Amino acid sequence: MSSIKAPRGVRDILPDESWKWEYVFAVTRKAASDFGYREVHLPVFEHTELFSRGVGETTDVVEKEMYTFEDRAGRSLTLRPELSASMVRSYLENRMDRQHQPAKLWSAGPMFRYERPQKGRYRQFWQIDFEAIGSQDPFVDVESVELSLEIFKRLGLSNLEVVVNSVGCPVCRPVHKKALQDFLRPRLNDLCETCQARFDRNPLRILDCKNPSCRALTDDAPGTISCLCEECSEHFEVVKKGLEMIGASFRIDNRLVRGLDYYTKTAYEVLSGDLGAQNAVCGGGRYDNLAESIGGPHTPGVGFATGVERIVLTMEQQGCSFGEAPNIEVFVISADGPSREEAVRALYDMRRAGISADIDYTGRSFKAQFKAAGGSGAVFACILGPEEVASGQVTLKDLRTGEQKSVRRAELTDFLKTRLR
C-alpha cells in the first residue's frame, strides 16, 4: 500500500520553520495592539452565500476557487477563501455597531483557495487580516496602509512597493464600465477567452488579466480614476495626501482592481521585489458595500490581509532576523542503571525551577547523547553518570566553550539559574 501524502497545494509547517512564524505573529500582534486593533477568532467555514454574495459571483475566487461542500443536513458550506466577509458578518451579527466606531479588528488563520500551486501560492495558506469597520474617513484607509508598512518595517522587510488605486463606487463604476466596454468592443475578438467572458458581466477584471497580449491590448484602456465621481475623487485626494503625510512612497496603478468584487474607492497592494511571480505580500482596500451585500445596513469598512508564507519567504530571501531560535537550555546525559533515575529527577528539578531541559529517551550511548546535546542547541550538557551520583555531584559542560565543571547536585538549579540568566 502506498503511504498517504498531504493533498496538492498544502504544506506542513515543520519546527525549523514554525518558530519563524511565531516571530512574525509576535511582531504583528504587537503592531496591531499599538494601532488599536483587537483580535477575533472566526470560524474556518461559513455559509457559501456569505462569499458568493460578499466576495462576488463573478470573481475567480467564487467561480473557481472555493472549497464548497454540503454538511450532513444538506447545507452548503465553504472553507473561507478570505476573511473580510467573515469579519463583516461577525461585526453585524454581534452588533459591534453599538460599540465605539470604527471597530478595529484583526484575525489570523488558514484560508483555502483551489488555485494552481506554485512557489508562494498554496491551496491552504495563512493570512493575517485587519479590518476597520464603521467609518468612511479616508484617514482610516491611510492608517490601514500605514499599519501594513509598519508591520513590514518591524519585520525588517525592504524592497517593497506600495501600489494604490481608486476603483470608485456604485455611482461612478457604471460610467467607467461603459467607457471601458466602448474601448474594448472593437478589440474583443483579440482578447483571451476569460476576458471575453468577462466583457458583459465584469469588464473591470479584464484590466487585471495577466495574459501579455490582453495587457498590451488594454494598455490605453480608460482607468477607473478617470471616471471617479466627485465624492470618490475627493476621497482619493485625501488618501494620497495622507500617504504623503506618513512618508509612504507609493505608485498609482490604474490597473489595480483586485480579485474581489467588494472593493470601493481605495484599493492597494504591497509588492515585494524579491518574490517573483507571486509578488504581493499584502492586499487591501475599502469595501463600503460589503455589509449591504450580505444583508446588513450600509456600513463602510477598510482593511487588508497579508500572507504569512509570503512574509516568511521574503524575510528568508532578504536575510531578515527572526529573533532567536527557541532552544532548550540544558540537555541531560545519563547512563543506564540506578543513575538514570537520578538523572530524570534532576531533569524534573530543572524544569520546575524554570530551566528548559531535555533528556535522551532512546537508550543511546554516552557519545551519541553528547552528539544529541550538541545538536539540541542547549547551552549546557548536564552529565549524571554513576560516578557523579556516587559523589553527589553533576558535571556541567558549557557546550559553547567546552569548559567543564563539577557542581554539587543540591546546588544545580541555583547554579544554572545564575549562569543562564
Q: Which of 77, 280, 320, 344 binds ligand AMP (CB under 6 A)?
A: 280
Burial class (CB in 10 A: 0-12, 13-18, 19+), 277: exposed
Contacting range for ligand AMP; rule: CB under 6 A; set: 86-94, 217-225, 302-310, 409-417: 302-310
Phi, psi of 225, rounded to the nearest 5 degrees: -60, -35
Contacting range for ligand AMP; rule: CB under 6 A; set: 208-216, 219-227, 280-288, 392-400: 280-288
User: How many residues does the structure list for the chain?
Assistant: 421
Q: Is 259 in the site for ligand AMP (CB under 6 A)?
A: yes
Residue 127's nearest CA partner among 85, 68, 164, 81 is: 81
| Numbers of helices and strands, H then E, in the chain | 15, 16
Query: d(Cα 206, Cα 218) in Å, to the nearest integer?
Result: 8
Q: Is 173 in the site for ligand AMP (CB under 6 A)?
A: no
Segments of 11-52 assigned E as strands: 38-39, 45-47
User: Rounded to the nearest whole angstrom, what is the least distance from the CB of residue 290 to ligand AMP in the complex?
Assistant: 13
Query: d(Cα 222, Cα 179) in Å, to the nearest integer?
Result: 7
Q: Which of 169, 305, 373, 382 binds ligand AMP (CB under 6 A)?
A: 305
Site string for ligand AMP, 59-88 (x = CB under 6 A): -----------------------x------
Q: Which of 23, 37, 91, 122 binds ligand AMP (CB under 6 A)?
A: 122
Q: Is 161 in the site for ligand AMP (CB under 6 A)?
A: no
With respect to ligand AMP, which residue has the nearer C-beta, 223 or 283? 283
Contacting range for ligand AMP; rule: CB under 6 A; set: 160-168, 281-289, 381-389, 407-415: 281-289
Q: Is 310 in the site for ligand AMP (CB under 6 A)?
A: yes
Beta bridge partners of 272: 160
Q: How many CB atoms lie within 10 A of CB 361?
A: 7
Q: Is 113 in the site for ligand AMP (CB under 6 A)?
A: yes
Burial class (CB in 10 A: 0-12, 13-18, 19+), 231: middle
Contacting range for ligand AMP; rule: CB under 6 A; set: 22-30, 40-48, 279-287, 401-409: 279-287
User: Rounded to the nearest whole angstrom, what is the least distance from the CB of residue 54 to ligand AMP in the complex?
Assistant: 12
**Count of residues that interact with ligand AMP, criterion CB under 6 A:** 18
Q: Is 223 in the site for ligand AMP (CB under 6 A)?
A: no
Phi, psi of 250, rounded to the nearest 5 degrees: -135, 160
Residue 302's nearest CA partner among 136, 62, 124, 53 is: 136
Q: Is 373 in the site for ligand AMP (CB under 6 A)?
A: no
The residues of the shown chain that bind ligand AMP, judged by CB under 6 A, are: 82, 113, 115, 120-122, 125, 127, 259, 280-283, 305-307, 309-310
